Structures are given as C-alpha cells and as structure tokens.
C-alpha cells in the first residue's frame, strides 16, 4: 500500500507542475469566507478533484480548490473549501491537504472557520483569534502509525496557536480598529449543531466558540512544526444561548456580512507573517 509520504509527494508534484512559484503561507478558508481568495493576484486555481489522493469536498459554500498567487507581497496558497470529519472521511484524509502544504514548503497556516459563540460577550459577526483548542471527540488525526520524518509520536502542543504571533495580530487588529476578541475553540465533529446541553458543557470546560473544523488541521500542522494562526468568525451564538434555530444559511450570511473586516485582517496577518 502506498504510504503517507508517497501520497504527499505525488500531490505535491502535481501542484508544482501547475505553478511556477513557491508558496510561503497557507490559508484555509471556512464557510462564507472563501471570497478572500478573490484578493489573490495572478491566481492559479487547482481543483481538489484533480489532485492525486485528495478527497472531494461536499459542503455547500465550499468551492473545493486551491488558489495560489500573491497576497500582500507573499506567495500564498489558499484552500477555498476544506474537508470535515462529518463528511465521512477519516481524520487522516481531512488533514491530508495540510500535509501537502508542508510538502510544498509552507511553514505557517492561517486556519479560518465559522463558529458558534459560547462566550456571552460575543455576538453574531464577532471575530475571534484562537488562543487554544479543545478536542475531546475521541479522535485525533495523529492516531495510527507515526511518520517520524514528519514529526514526533508525542508532539508538544502547549503553544499550538503561536502566542508570540498572536500578540502581534492583536496589536495589528487594534491599529486597524478591528475589535478582535480572543478565545478557545471547542471542537465538535458535527454535522448536527450542538445541543444546548453540549454548549453548556463546552462553556463550562473553557470553550469560547464551538465548531466543526480547524482542530484536526491545527494538530497536524503542529505535528510537523508549522506555525498556526486561527480566526473564528462567530456567525451565531451557540444553541441555547441563541434563542432562534440555527441554520447553515444564517452562518453563510453572517460570514458574508463581515467579509470586509475579515479580508482587511487577513491581509494584514499575511503582511506581518
Ligand atoms: N456550531 C458549530 N459549528 C458552527 C456553528 C455552531 O453554532 N456556527 C457555525 N459553525
């Protein structure tokens, strides 16, 4: 059977055959946030479905392609759409693109997502810089044989979301007059939104936002020694806190509403990275 390194190399070789630049930073764009890829200059687009060993994205609002080009003087590779565990893939499959980013030479990833707010000082449209994450779903993308040439069996994740870089992001947000909050991302597999009791649990355990992505990708990036930055767009208050029913359309609408601010912030993050 073909192993992880071989799969990474084949995917990398395919992407490299389509571009003549070397990506420096990776951007993973969450629900309703994919529009950021339109800011990328001289874009080359590569559909995931063309790339060897890539799963195919199934979620509405997720385009399912890489967009590679220039943003703020850096060569970036953006993922317009990502893979989620709830789609039925394995944890290793959903995080394979992060492995490929590393193979391409990317050492810093910005992970973005739409999330529900459990911190009651948040509201729909709040942007939250992720300081840490909680994954007690019982699954980790690092389970199974460890590829020691990529990273250690027992990676240290005490500074998974670079605290020093986060401090700079907060300063820049302030300078841009963006009210960037901070908090802990609590991962649920979904695909159902959480029950109010699950939201109370997440809150009690220290979560400020709940969401169905990002945490597995952050673990895989950290495993390979990549710098990780995360931003959640709080599109709704989590179930039970918000009194109205949750739905994906609202998530996408609110994410679209904060697009302008989000783009401004991401541009600056790429600039200072
Ligand atoms: N829960 C989980 N994921 C989400 C939410 C939520 O409330 N909103 C947007 N993504």
Helix (H) / strand (E) containing 258: none
Cα(193)–Cα(43) distance, integer angstroms: 35
> Is the Cβ atom of 194 under 6 angstroms away from ligand 1?
yes
pLDDT band at 60; cut points 50, 70, 90:
low
> Is the Cβ atom of 122 under 6 angstroms away from ligand 1?
no
**Which residues neighbour 17 within 8 Å (Cβ) at sequence distance 6 or greater?**
none
Does the structure show a pLDDT above 90 at 63? no
Which 8-state DSSP code applies to residue 192?
S
Are the CB atoms for 229 and 169 separated by under 8 Å? yes
| 126-158 burial code (b ≥16 CB/10 A, e <16) | bbbbbebbbbeeeeebbeeeeeeebbeeebebe
> Is the Cβ atom of 78 under 6 angstroms away from ligand 1?
no
Mutate to test the pocket of ligand 1, among 183, 211, 214, 241 (most ligand atoms within 8 A of CB): 211
- How much is the pLDDT for 59? 58
Say whether the peptide bond before residue 197 is cis (omega within 30 degrees of 0). Answer: no
Strand partners, 243: none
Cα(7)–Cα(56) distance, integer angstroms: 16
Could you read off the pLDDT of 225-263 as tens digits, one per residue?
999 999 999 999 999 999 998 988 888 888 889 999 999
> Is the Cβ atom of 199 under 6 angstroms away from ligand 1?
no
Mutate to test the pocket of ligand 1, among 251, 252, 256 (most ligand atoms within 8 A of CB): 251
Mutate to test the pocket of ligand 1, among 29, 115, 248 (most ligand atoms within 8 A of CB): 115
Cα(97)–Cα(74) distance, integer angstroms: 20
Distances (CA, A) of 218 to 82, 227, 258: 13, 9, 24
- How much is the pLDDT for 62? 52
- How much is the pLDDT for 111? 98
Could you read off the pLDDT of 204-222 as tens digits, one per residue?
999 999 999 999 999 999 9
Strand partners, 235: none
> Is the Cβ atom of 241 under 6 angstroms away from ligand 1?
no
pLDDT band at 58; cut points 50, 70, 90:
low
Q: How much distance in Å is there from the Cα of 114 to the middle of ligand 1?
A: 6
Residues catalogued as catalytic: 31, 62, 84, 86-87, 114, 212-213, 236, 248
Residue nearest to atom 3 of ligand 1 (CA): 211
Report the phi/psi class of residue 105: left, alpha or beta, with left for phi > 0 and alpha for psi in -120 to 50. left
**Which residues neighbour 42 within 8 Å (Cβ) at sequence distance 6 or greater?**
69, 70
Cα(49)–Cα(106) distance, integer angstroms: 21
Cα(45)–Cα(208) distance, integer angstroms: 35
Phi, psi of 23 (to 5 degrees): -60, 135
> Is the Cβ atom of 210 under 6 angstroms away from ligand 1?
yes
DSSP-based three-state secondary structure for 109: strand
Task: Spell out the domains of the chain, with CATH numbers in brackets.
Answer: 88-142+158-272 (3.40.50.1580)
């Amino acid at each position: 059977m073909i192993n992880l390194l071989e799969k990474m190399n084949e995917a990398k070789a395919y992407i490299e055959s389509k571009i003549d630049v070397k990506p420096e930073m990776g951007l993973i764009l969450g629900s309703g946030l994919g529009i950021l890829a339109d800011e990328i200059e001289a874009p080359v687009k590569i559909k995931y479905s063309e790339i060897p060993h890539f799963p195919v994205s199934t979620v509405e609002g997720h385009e399912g392609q890489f967009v590679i080009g220039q943003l703020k003087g850096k060569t970036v590779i953006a993922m317009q759409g990502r893979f989620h565990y709830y789609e039925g893939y394995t944890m290793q499959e959903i995080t394979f693109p992060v492995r490929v980013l590393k193979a391409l030479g990317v050492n810093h990833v910005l992970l973005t997502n739409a999330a529900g707010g459990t911190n009651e000082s948040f509201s729909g449209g709040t942007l939250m810089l992720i300081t840490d994450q909680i994954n007690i779903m019982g699954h980790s993308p690092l389970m199974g044989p460890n590829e020691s040439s990529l990273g250690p069996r027992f990676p240290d994740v005490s500074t998974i979301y670079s605290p020093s870089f986060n401090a700079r992001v907060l300063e820049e947000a302030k300078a841009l007059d963006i009210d960037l909050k901070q908090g802990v991302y609590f991962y649920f597999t979904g695909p159902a939104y959480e029950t109010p009791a699950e939201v109370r649990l997440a809150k009690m355990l220290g979560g400020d936002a709940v969401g169905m992505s990002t945490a597995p990708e952050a673990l895989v990036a950290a495993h390979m020694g990549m710098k990780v930055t995360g931003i959640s767009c709080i599109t709704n208050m989590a179930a039970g806190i918000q009194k109205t029913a949750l739905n994906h359309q609202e998530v996408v609408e609110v994410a679209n509403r904060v697009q302008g601010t989000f783009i401004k912030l991401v541009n600056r993050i790429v600039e200072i990275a």
